[in-house]
Structure 1
Amino acid sequence: MRFLLNVIWLLLCGIWMALGYVVAGVICCILIITIPFGIASFRIAAYALWPFGRTVIRQPTAGFWSAIGNVIWVVVAGIWLALGHIVTGVLLCITIIGIPLGVANFKMIPVSLLPLGRQIVRIDEVTTRPSTA
């Protein structure tokens, strides 16, 4: 099922969303001081191409500088990429088949706004902690 959703995603919106992240990444890499933003943008571009079966987790070791970087990212590129996810998600939710894809678009908004200090991993790699009741 993930494969089918990923193929439909790729055709309907994955290529366009990934292209937006690649453009942002190239611009960031040209400006040399913003290369970490470019690397984060390229990571999210790969995630935007094939999102089903992967998830985003916080890196507990991310510190103060990633928070400052996220503030800069929101102003420079994050708002525009998040708006792209919102518009694409709403358009996909118009059809029954597109609803899971629209929901996936909405789930990508937090990582498009705050990419630093996040890691994209396969769902199989995520371990759940036992609850301490």
Structure 2
Amino acid sequence: MEKFNKMLEVENDLLEQLHIRENKTMAYSFHLKKLENSGANMNGRAKKAAHFHQLFSFYQKDLLPALREIILLEKKHIALEQKNPDRSFRPFLKELKAHHKIVRQFLHRFAEVEKEFESFANNEKTSEILN
């Protein structure tokens, strides 16, 4: 039983992490839109801005909702496993671990993209100050 409670804790933590990323993608997309609308001289970095906009739009509209859906389904699977009296048949446990790995891979990738974006955004702010 404790094993399943820990699994539920992991699922809830992953949901919270995704929620944080959703908020960040909205903020980053807003920043990119604001930058685009400002008419700022981007010194040839418009392509990079478009790339970030495309990434964050994909994350926000497609990937994050899909990952959230997976986690909510996994919570149902944990509930099923808790009720399952057949200890020899645990069909969802491997799937749970695989899905956790996918979500963690995304969180790792998001951190990388976030660093790249922050560097880009800081360069844009510096560029605005110099112009």
Q: Report the TM-score range of the alignment, normalised by the length of the smaller protein.
A: 0.3 to 0.5
Higher relative contact order, chain-length normalized (CA < 8 Å, sep 6+): 2
Look at both structures and tell me which one has the larger radius of gyration over its CA atoms.
Answer: 2
Structure with greater strand percent: 1
Structure with greater helix percent: 2
